[in-house]
Every structure is written in structure tokens, then in C-alpha cells.
Structure 1
Amino acid sequence: MALSKSERKLRIRRRIRKVSFGTETRPRLSVFRSNKEIYAQLIDDNKGVTLVAASSRDKDIKAKGTKTEIAHAVGKAIAEKAKKAGIETAAFDRGGNLYHGRVKSLAEGAREAGLKF
């Protein structure tokens, strides 16, 4: 029997989390995508703490346009906040989503702003 869409996403998320682990020097860039918004966090898994966060709901993100363009702006914002916190590299965790569309746009925006992963 085939997996449902949510079961498939959960299976992929668990597989990614086995490999992707965040430390203080190289935190995990976790992406959560809902139907309307997109959220990104830099997480230190050793301490269980969120170091930096950005989302499309933040007031400092002034991007208008499509969801993909807004995700690109969120990627730039998370990278700028990370640089202020002294973080230059991260482990990318797409959270079970395909690396396509908004998730890809967020990653490219973060790379443009100087975050490496």
C-alpha cells in the first residue's frame, strides 16, 4: 500500500534528521513551510536552543510579490541575522520538503547573503 503524502514527508524528515545535526559553531538551518508562510531557524541541537530565527511574518521583511520572492527575502534575512550572531556555516534541513520552489528560493537567498552550507 502506498504512503500518504504526510507519511511520506514524515519519513523523509526523519531520514534527514538522522544525518543533519546542529552544533554551536555549525547550527542546523531548519525550514518550515506552511501554505501561507515560511519560517527558518538556526538551531543548536546540543543545547536544544534556537540561535536565530526569521519568517515571512516578521515586520522587517518588506518583500512583496510571490511566495517564492518572499522566501528569498527570508533567506537573506536569516543569513544577515546569522552573520550578526557570528555564524558563517550551517547544516541545511529542508524538513521533509522537496528542494524546489520556496525551499530552494530560501536556500539561494541565504547563500547570496553569505551563509554557507
Structure 2
Amino acid sequence: MLSKKEQRLRRARQTRIRIANQGVARLTVNRTNLHIYASVISGDGSKVLATASTSEAEVRQALGASGKGGNVAAAQVVGKRVAEKAKAAGIEKVAFDRAGFAYHGRVKALAEAAREAGLQF
């Protein structure tokens, strides 16, 4: 019997293989109960080109007094921010790597915010 985390990582493995064959940068997401993290990783997987997360001081200020990172509003802020940083690094097209998480809720909000901010995937 696989644990919940092992099941998620198993789901993530196929996606990562498929993205690696495409050779494009990938926008990868990790979520915990308190925070959400997003990174743009180069096509060969050797460099992290841009990151954003709810644990950054500026993001917590943007979220206001509560500073909560475990909600959809926080995910939207992180999505917009990672897209801006990626564009500044010269990245326009990425493959979305949801790391085995369901495309729903915070993961979906982050992806849609990144699309609206100009990332293509």
C-alpha cells in the first residue's frame, strides 16, 4: 500500500518524463497546508530560473494583515509573481508541472494567474 505522498509522486513521475522529452522550461508547483511554492526550471532541469512563494516577505505583505498562504488568493499572487519573474528571465513558454496535485483549487488558481500574467502553457 502506497502512502498518500508516494501516490502523488508516482503521478508526478510520468508528467516529468513527458516534459523532459519536450525540452521546454517547466513551471512546477508544490503546496503545503500553509504555503504554495512555484518554480520555473530550465528545459534540461539544471537551473532554477524563477521562484515565488507565499513564504516571501513581499508576498506576505501583499496578502495583508492575515498573511495566510494556504488559500486561493495567495496562490493567485504567487502565480502572477512567478510569471513576471520568468518573463524578466526571458521565458515565455513553459510546461505546467502540477507535481501530482489535482488541477483544482490553489493549483488551478496559480496556473490561471500565471497565464493571465503572460506565460504560455
TM (normalized to structure 2)? 0.85
Deviation at 1:47, TM superposition (A): 5.5
In structure 2, C-alpha distance between the alignment counterparts of 1:3 and 1:82, rounded to whole Å: 35
Q: Which residue in 2 is equivalent to 1:63?
A: 63
Q: Which residue in 2 is equivalent to 1:74?
A: 78
In structure 2, C-alpha distance between the alignment counterparts of 1:79 and 1:7, rounded to whole Å: 29
Q: Which residue in 1 is equivalent to 2:113?
A: 109
Moved over 2 A (4+): 63-66
Q: Deviations over 1:21-57 (max 9, x none)?
A: 275xx31101011110000001014261101111011
SS in 1 for 2:50: strand
In structure 1, C-alpha distance between the alignment counterparts of 2:17 and 2:116, rounded to whole Å: 27
Q: More helix by proportion, 1 or 2?
A: 2
| Paired residue total | 114
Deviation at 1:63, TM superposition (A): 2.2
What pairs up with 1:1-117 in 2 under 5 angstroms? Answer: 3-21=2-20, 23=23, 26-46=24-44, 48-61=46-59, 62-64=62-64, 67-117=71-121
Alignment gaps of 5+ in structure 2:
none
In structure 2, C-alpha distance between the alignment counterparts of 1:46 and 1:14, rounded to whole Å: 16
TM (normalized to structure 1)? 0.88
Alignment gaps of 5+ in structure 1:
none
In structure 1, C-alpha distance between the alignment counterparts of 2:115 and 2:87, rounded to whole Å: 12
- Partner amino acid, structure 1, of 2:98: R
Deviation at 1:82, TM superposition (A): 1.1
- Partner amino acid, structure 2, of 1:6: K
